[in-house]
Amino acid sequence: MELYFLGTGSGVPSKERNVSSLTLRLLEETGAVWMFDCGEGTQQQILHSPIKPRRVEKIFITHLHGDHIYGLPGFLSSRSFQGGTTPLTIYGPEGLQDFVELSLKISGTHLNYEIDFRQIEDGFTEDSPQFEITAHLLEHGLDSYGFLIKEKAQQGALQKEKLEAMGVPPGPIYQTIKNQERTTLEDGTIITRSEVLGAPKPGRSIAILGDTRFKSSHAEWIHGADLLVHEGTFSGKEREMAYEYYHSTVSQAAALAKESEVGRLIVNHLSSRYQTPDIELLSEEAKKIFPETTIAHDHYHVSIPRNNGKES
Amino acid sequence: MELYFLGTGSGVPSKERNVSSLTLRLLEETGAVWMFDCGEGTQQQILHSPIKPRRVEKIFITHLHGDHIYGLPGFLSSRSFQGGTTPLTIYGPEGLQDFVELSLKISGTHLNYEIDFRQIEDGFTEDSPQFEITAHLLEHGLDSYGFLIKEKAQQGALQKEKLEAMGVPPGPIYQTIKNQERTTLEDGTIITRSEVLGAPKPGRSIAILGDTRFKSSHAEWIHGADLLVHEGTFSGKEREMAYEYYHSTVSQAAALAKESEVGRLIVNHLSSRYQTPDIELLSEEAKKIFPETTIAHDHYHVSIPRNNGKES
Ligand SMILES: [Zn+2]
Ligand SMILES: [Zn+2]
């Protein structure tokens, strides 16, 4: 489980930062990649990354501002051109489907795969055997959402020493014992799975927010996440401007991380006014409030840590 | 008058070439920039070029394929964000206005300038004091156009030696003589402008074609242009594939340049299958047919030469 940031700027691209996109790479878990937002030039950023467009199986759009969606038609076309044939699910607010469909139609683009559009609204939930995904409305002038991705707890490992001590030698029977509640051995012994499994591994949870004003009530649904990705468009000094433009400061992102007791904070969506030297200052500013903060840059990637079991 | 190539690839971007866009910089002539096509990532390419978005006053779209238009909504937004307030004219086939308007509307984008959309069809003409622009239908599966930009002949320079020999000393009167047909001096002498002006400078003409199959009849309207920009998606060996996909080979572009007796040929829209070493071969291939050929690369720029007065 890895996050890979393709674009960490806001509004307009700069030489240092492209507009918004990031991916959640679930290579060990399912082999798939999930994308969050797809600003213009995302497919060009991908060319310089290890991401394969055909591996992207879900795209989540936090909101419809251009810097979060204008790369979508091009990405979808190239995914097809580069051999993508498996279905793709796109999650986003009302209007997104119209934009995508008109863009593809007007350009005469035929895709070699199906798109399943899922319109999101506050409280949207999707459940699968491995993950639960929920969408939460933020505060951003137009509907903008945060997504909470909860990995489900995984079965503990089979405690082989215990089985051997019970006189069960290693073999295919181990898999059978793992797969069912109760297994009867040839000699009549009954083995209950729960007695020979280690503690279940708690699933991780990641909160990825779209553009938003700081709002302390967001801490309620983010609470205890292993990782929080939050925008920090402006420096802490620019609180008023952040409010006026429906954005947050880096300090506010850190304050929310602290309040939410998350394991770690990554800040993205930085204004193009900040150049590399400024970023160091922004980082210090945030770390005073929440030490486990990283200001992301394009192509920054990180394994998702477990939040030391605080809550999962 | 300079051409600046922002993207010279076809279909999908590669590390070497972005998708289609080029600009005609009329800095000496009018101070303005005209853009031809605007594939995804054009605004990112501009960041690494001397082009200022607010200087772009006309955008010509040759056809609606995604690699020629998906950068338009982002470019338009950024032009506004970066202080562009002067009106912009967009020329393109039917459907373009819908794409642009829906993209801006869905993303809640307000521009600080007006857009004037001009729908083009075969034979479209626009006349201004300095230029005549015409659009010509090509052959490309969906409507694709070529544009012929004809600069009008410019007044010759005032021959100062002649005036001095006539006893007219330099001063503001020189400008007056240049501005009107006939000027009466204080001593009653009448000076006829045509007698004291040098030969008029012939205007240049540039043919910029969108995607197209080779068609020798295009030579009719291109004939004698100082510069021809023509796609060369494939190498000369791939004639059949080029035909099948409604494209041209580099050799066909050169053949058309020869047939049209243009001054110079620049080939763009190269398939991403060709890497830097292949391009040298493609260039040799074309030069055998038409020596004055250049295969463009991203950020290639060139002053527009005059075609030695062959035709102007
Ligand atoms: Zn936004
Ligand atoms: Zn095309």
- Supply the pLDDT for residue A53: 97
Interchain CB contact of B6 with A (< 8 Å): no
Return d(Cα A178, Cα A156) in angstroms, integer: 10
Of A11, A64, A74, nearest to B40 by CB-CB distance is: A74
Return d(Cα A228, Cα A225) in angstroms, integer: 7
Return d(Cα A236, Cα A249) in angstroms, integer: 5
Return d(Cα A58, Cα A68) in angstroms, integer: 15
- Supply the pLDDT for residue B266: 98
pLDDT 10s digits, A215-244? 999 999 999 999 999 999 999 999 999 999
pLDDT 10s digits, B140-194? 999 999 999 999 998 888 999 999 998 888 999 999 998 899 999 888 889 999 8
For residue A269, report the distance from its CA to the centre of ligand 1, in Å: 9
Return d(Cα B264, Cα B302) in angstroms, integer: 11
Kindly report the nearest CA distance between residue A56 and chain B, in angstroms.
17
Long-range contacts from B121-126, C-beta under 8 angstroms, 24+ separation? B121/B93, B124/B91, B126/B91
- Supply the pLDDT for residue B140: 96
Q: Mark B53-77 as b/e (b = at least 16 C-beta within 10 Å).
A: bbbbbbbbbbbbbbbbbbbbbbbbb
Share of chain A above pLDDT 70, in %: 98
Tokens linked to B64: 């609606």
- Average pLDDT over every residue of B248-257: 98
Q: Is the pLDDT of residue B50 over 50?
A: yes
Q: Which residue of B has its CA nearest to A66?
A: B107
Domains and CATH numbers, chain A: 2-154+201-303 (3.60.15.10), 160-195 (no CATH)
A278 noted as active-site residue: no
- Nearest Cα neighbor of A136 from A234, A56, A219 is A219
pLDDT 10s digits, B273-292? 998 889 999 999 999 999 99
ipTM: 0.90
Answer for the pair A269, A222: CB distance below 8 angstroms, yes or no: no
- Supply the pLDDT for residue B100: 98
Return d(Cα B173, Cα B159) in angstroms, integer: 13
Read off the pLDDT band of B307 (50, 70, 90): low
Tokens linked to A218: 């967001």
Residue type, B182: R
Instruction: Kindly list the protein residues that place their beta carbon closer than 5 angstroms to ligand 2, a single-atom ion.
Output: B 65, 211
Residue B110 marked ligand-binding: no
Q: Is the pLDDT of residue B309 over 80?
A: no
pLDDT 10s digits, A19-34? 999 999 998 888 899 9
- Nearest Cα neighbor of B233 from B253, B219, B260, B217 is B253
Tokens linked to A272: 């193009």
Read off the pLDDT band of A311 (50, 70, 90): very low
Q: What are the Cα distances from residue A312, in Å, to A133, A155, A218?
A: 14, 14, 17
Rg (chain A; Cα; Å): 22
Q: Which of A40, A105, A111 to mutate to test the interface with B (most CBs of B within 10 A)?
A: A40
Of A66, A82, A102, nearest to B74 by CB-CB distance is: A66
CA pseudo-torsion sign A178, A180, A182, A184 = negative
The reply to whether residue B44 touches residue A43, judged by beta carbons under 8 angstroms, is no
Q: Which residue of B has its CA nearest to A144?
A: B107
- Nearest Cα neighbor of A9 from A56, A49, A68 is A68
User: Pairing between strand A2-7 and A301-303?
Assistant: antiparallel
Residue B98 marked ligand-binding: no
Answer for the pair A5, A300: CB distance below 8 angstroms, yes or no: yes
Return d(Cα A232, Cα A7) in angstroms, integer: 14
Q: Please give the positions of B annotated as active site.
A: 67
Chain A residues touching residue B15 (CB < 8 angstroms): 47-48
Q: Indicate the annotated binding residues of A for Zn(2+).
A: 63, 65, 67-68, 140, 211, 269
Interchain CB contact of A273 with B (< 8 Å): no
The reply to whether residue A43 touches residue B13, judged by beta carbons under 8 angstroms, is yes
Q: What is the pTM of this model?
A: 0.91
Q: Across all residues in chain B, what is the average pLDDT?
A: 94
Return d(Cα A223, Cα A282) in angstroms, integer: 24
Residue B48 marked ligand-binding: no
Interchain CB contact of A226 with B (< 8 Å): no
